Chains A and B, each alone.
Chain A
Amino acid sequence: MAKRTYEWLLPFLFTGGLILARYLFPSKMTFITEVALYTLYVMGNNILFGYMGYVSFGQPVYLSMGAYSAAIYLAYLGRSPLVAILVAILMGVLVGVLMGPVLIRLRGSYFTLVNAAFCAIGLFTVERLLIGITRGNDGLWFRTRMLATPLLDIRQPRNFFFFAIMVLLVIFLLYRRMDRSVLGVAFKATQGNERRMQFLGYDTFKIRWIGFVLATVLSTLAGSLYAINFGFVNPNLGENSRAAEVIVATLLGGSGTVYGPFFGAITFLGIKEIVSQWITRWELLVGVLTIVVLFRFNRGVWGTFMDLIHKGRKTSVLQRE
């Protein structure tokens, strides 16, 4: 019972930690907001990579789709940021439902590379093909068109911070529920032994499809929040050269875990924030750290931490005995 209470507290503890950090380091509010948004993005990739075993080099395209669908809505069609977020979520569902059956048939490097190709196509589309709508590399600005949202005006960065934290908390709770549900177990079981799942009567294609849709929705949600936070979007968000970043963040935090994406986002963005002050190529340290994690701590920050806790528990039980 105590363990259950403690587990339930974790989403509140982590989001509360971000709020505390915002007051302890007021100048870092933008960074902390980005941690919250990037966590959502990593959570999406974690479903694909950690739960289902798919390596996607195309995640930026889904982030970009979310950002652009929210931005286009706000720049041309409507003025409510909340509706824009909803539009981005619907875009995620639509893309996941339509592209999922095509992509999840592919395995291993085929899935990885076809996603990378989609990412390149997506970048070309927003940069060149739809330049009349997206304004290409100049970016699409819409901050002044956004209307105040009820209760909390998320146009203000301070208010947006709390809104992002609330969204993160809700997603944490849903993600935790998914992890403990049959669906979460089915994702991992399908990755481990798909045939065995079929012997049991599971439509594993459908399971992988659902996972793909969830991953896409989380990416487009994160993209829309990025867009609203900055008040503009440009094609940089969907650059395929950034595809490896989200995979590295997933690995650093601990893939296939509920809270790994949170620690992956903190570690990855933290290194970027701190090291980039001294070294231009901050990616160098991320590369070295990734190698160390893969060889020595392949369960990532959160996975290794949990292992240490479990080890400690076992030791104390032995000592009591």
Chain B
Amino acid sequence: MNGNEDMETGKTPLLKVKKLYSGYGNLKVLFDISMDVYPGEVVCLVGRNGAGKTTLFRTLSGFLKPFSGEILFQQKNLVGEYPFKIALSGLKYVHQDKQVFSDLTVKENLELASYATKDYEWDRVFAYLPKLKILLQRKAGLLSGGEKQMLLIAMALLGRPSLVLMDEPTEGLAPHLIHDLTQVFKEIRKETTLCIVEQNLPMVTQIADKVYSMKEGKIVAETSSPEEIRALVFEKYL
């Protein structure tokens, strides 16, 4: 058992965040964040707008340098690493803005992702997201919100990342698309670990193995009990 192993389970977390403080300029947004994500898990972060969820993801993916604390990914400290190096090390971030490369076709978007990671196994990705296969020649800017989200997920999955951070993937999507996306996440989790910021609580109950509740830049509650997740006990902390 090494120093990073969990005392109870003996497992080594894929991502371990220790006493993280982060923010913008002099403005502190995150306070004393500690969390663990284990391989194969689906971890959801819930919280109201302004709770610091996106700031946490930006810090984890290297776009914000934390004031203090540690981010251990596969036992390597990511603090101070360039975002592209973090992405190449296997931690991908799907931003909430759903911005694809609009002027490029779906195929060209995927080619860009493949070239960076040298992963050209598109069929593996199409197995999760079959609709993309028929949209290959379409300009990405002409895709619907749901299709853009699918494309972003496909691009993130190329390179076989160990962990994918997804920031509000269902935001602005129609209910039937949210349902489709939920099924996609259930499939994807067989391949990679997911950490999802999500406000759609019914979806969280369907996919989450662990839920962290955030409020005013702090983690105020944590549960990995399936009963508690199904009962939405974390809702009272929001």
Residues of A in contact with B (beta carbons under 8 Å apart): 182, 185-186, 188-189, 192-193, 195-204
Contacts and interface: CB of A to CB of B under 8 A. Distances in A.
A305 B115 CA distance: 32
By secondary structure, the A interface counts as helix
A24 to B, nearest CB: 38
Contacts of B99: 193, 196
A199 B151 CA distance: 14
A200 B104 contact: no
Contacts of A198: 63, 82-84, 87
Contact of B112 (A189, A195, A203): A189
B103 A201 contact: no
B233 interface: no
A185 B111 CA distance: 10
A197 B87 CA distance: 10
Nearest to B118: A201
Interface stretch (B27-35, B88-96, B127-135, B203-211): B88-96
B115 A196 contact: no
19 contacts: A182-B115, A185-B111, A188-B101, A188-B103, A188-B104, A192-B103, A193-B101, A196-B95, A197-B84, A198-B84, A200-B84, A200-B87, A200-B112, A200-B116, A200-B155, A202-B84, A202-B116, A203-B84, A204-B84
A201 B86 CA distance: 8
Contacts of A188: 101, 103-104
B117 interface: yes
Contact of A196 (B88, B101, B108, B117): B101
B218 to A, nearest CB: 26
Given A193-B99, A199-B92, 17 more contacts: A182-B111, A185-B108, A185-B111, A185-B112, A186-B112, A188-B103, A192-B103, A196-B101, A198-B83, A199-B83, A199-B95, A199-B156, A200-B87, A200-B112, A201-B87, A202-B84, A202-B112
**Chain B, interface size: which category?**
20 to 34
A189 B104 contact: yes
B158 to A, nearest CB: 8
Contact of A192 (B61, B93, B102): B102
Contacts of A197: 84, 112
B193 to A, nearest CB: 17
Contacts of B95: 195-196, 199
B47 interface: no
B159 interface: yes
Which of A182, A188, A196, A203 lies at the interface centre, i.e. has the most chain B CB atoms within 10 A of its CB? Answer: A196
Which of A186, A195, A196, A200 lies at the interface centre, i.e. has the most chain B CB atoms within 10 A of its CB? Answer: A200
A185 B114 CA distance: 13
A188 B141 CA distance: 14
A231 B104 CA distance: 45
B113 interface: yes
B81 to A, nearest CB: 11
B85 to A, nearest CB: 8
B104 A201 contact: no
Contacts of B111: 182, 185
Nearest to B93: A199
Nearest to A204: B84
Contacts of A202: 84, 112, 116
A64 B144 CA distance: 49
Contacts of B159: 201
Contacts of A192: 101-103
Given A189-B101, A189-B112, A192-B103, A201 B88 contact: yes
Contacts of B88: 201
Contacts of B108: 185
A203 B87 CA distance: 10
B84 A185 contact: no
Interface string B208-234: 000000000000000000000000000
Given A201-B159, A203-B84, A195 B63 contact: yes
Interface in B30-73: 61, 63
A202 B118 CA distance: 12
B106 to A, nearest CB: 13
B57 to A, nearest CB: 11
A25 to B, nearest CB: 39
What are the 8 closest A-B residue pairs judged by CB atoms, nearest first?
A201-B116, A201-B87, A201-B88, A198-B83, A182-B115, A200-B116, A198-B84, A189-B101
B139 to A, nearest CB: 12
Nearest to A182: B115
Contacts of A204: 84
A200 B94 CA distance: 9
